[in-house]
Amino acid sequence: MSDQDALTPRVFLVRHGETEWAKLGRCTGITEIELTPEGTTQVSSAAALLVGAGKLLDPSRLAHIFVSPRRRARRTFELLMGSPSPGVTDWEQRVTYTEDIAEWDYGDYEGLTDGEIRRLRTERGLDGEREWNIWRDGCEGGESMQQVSKRLDRLILQIREIHSRYMNGAKPVDVLLVAHGLVLRCFVKRWLGLSVDSPFNMMMAPGAVTVLSYKKNNISEPAIHIGIALPTSEESGKR
């Protein structure tokens, strides 16, 4: 990890582990569903490799954690972070469970696959001129692009307030988000100042970790790490 990376506040995005509906490609918004055994393993393996003192996601460097209140996200958070590290105080005060980072509300499309949604819409005479696109068109009975953007922008503002006073690295103020695949990809777009329906293709596997930050320690230049160096053993020893 470079000196620049060590100084600049970061945001870690973690998608919850695999569920049966995620495995089948079913839209899972408000439905409460458990992680599969494979999903539990995904998160536990990531935690062993990436979480801990001197590792990429160091609990002592976290100023705040935002977690979706859905059961699959809460369980992922528990598996990822485990018990607070020694020396980490006020742990419970650092965690907020918030609907701002809950999955997109799929409304009438809850539990359906992409193919099923398109067939349903075709049968109802919709999408004659252009194909349905959730990023642009939202979900009937659920959320629109504008509604999702509004709540994510509210959360981004909170995070920027946490980061703004310590952009020079005087105090570690990393932030962790534990949530869902679609809404986290929306979050990346809004973090970069892009519209949710911008053509920016992304993939995020269950249990995956994404890192956001800023260029040149400048809060006006939000950025995404398309690749990040892991801390060396030497750097780990210094912490």
Q: Is 106 annotated as a binding residue?
A: yes
Which of these is catalytic: 16, 18, 163, 180? 16
**103 has catalytic annotation:** yes
Q: Is 5 annotated as a binding residue?
A: no
Q: Is 58 annotated as a binding residue?
A: no
Which of these is catalytic: 78, 92, 103, 129? 103
Q: Is 31 annotated as a binding residue?
A: no
**163 has catalytic annotation:** no
Q: Is 76 annotated as a binding residue?
A: no
Nearest residue to 176 (alpha-carbon basis) of 6, 15, 1: 15
Q: Is 110 annotated as a binding residue?
A: no
Q: Is 165 annotated as a binding residue?
A: no
Cα(152)–Cα(155) distance, rounded to whole angstroms? Answer: 5
Q: Which residues are annotated as a binding site?
A: 28-29, 72, 103-106
Catalytic residue list: 16, 103
Q: Which residues are annotated as a binding site for substrate?
A: 28-29, 72, 103-106
